[in-house]
Amino acid sequence: MRNGAVTRRLGIMGGTFDPIHHGHLVAASEVAHHFELDEVVFVPTGQPWQKADKTVSAAEDRYLMTVIATASNPRFSVSRVDIDRPGPTFTIDTLRDIRDVYGPDVELYFITGADALAQILSWRDADELFRIAHFVGCTRPGHTLHDPGLPDGMISLTEIPALAISSSECRERVRAGQPIWYLVPDGIVQYIGKRGLYSARGEIADSGE
């Protein structure tokens, strides 16, 4: 129990989650523990503007994988705010929508990888972002935070136990016929197989939809 705390602390873990993997889940769990968060909401992006040049799996598949991966944790939940909003996803809209859903009395902690944090000042409405939420950067193997221009006191950095897992690598492995067991939750391996995601078979099947 926190001393005298009345407000709820809510973590927001935005991501493409294509697919969600144990790096995301460990990061959310570590930050929740460190900042005594009451809940972490995973928010799969709609059409990610940073990745506009890349092919991203259907929002519904990414949403369902996020639900499957988080279902067993009572403090994890999933929000559809980004996938239900038309157009590209901007973090400022995510924060505003989550605040509307949970009310003004929550403290928001936006959880992001240190690699993404390095670009944070280029995000739309950066000043308002820092007013609405505290930003938590997760250090991740292979990435260091270079940008010295980040505002003081607005951002915390948390070390995540070394988990050199990325969604790109998971997709590559599936495409190459290599296993992704234990890089992602079991249900995600099964969902990817069932839907034929990331494999040549899946690409052919999807193009017919």
Binding residues for ligand ATP, rule: CB under 6 A, are: 15-18, 23-24, 27, 112-113, 115-116, 138, 140, 160, 163, 165-168
Q: Which is nearer to ligand ATP, 27 or 180 (CB)?
A: 27
Do strands 155-159 and 133-139 pair parallel, antiparallel, or not at all (unpaired)?
parallel
Copy the structure tokens of residue 139. 């250090």
Residue 100's SS3 state is helix
CA distances from 34 to 11, 23, 136, 160 (A): 11, 16, 11, 11
Determine the residue with CB nearest ligand ATP.
Answer: 113
State the minimum distance, in angstroms, from the CB of residue 23 to ligand ATP: 2
Query: With respect to ligand ATP, which residue has the nearer C-beta, 160 or 180?
Result: 160
Of 89 and 167, CB closest to ligand ATP: 167
CA–CA separation, 120 vs 125, rounded Å? 10
CB nearer to ligand ATP: pick between 105 and 169:
169
Per the listing, tokens 């078979």 go with 201
- In the complex, what is the shortest distance from the CB of residue 97 to ligand ATP, in angstroms, rounded to a whole number? 18
Q: Provide the token pair at 69.
A: 């991966």
Beta carbon of residue 180, minimum distance to ligand ATP (angstroms, whole number): 12
Which token pair is 15? 């991501």
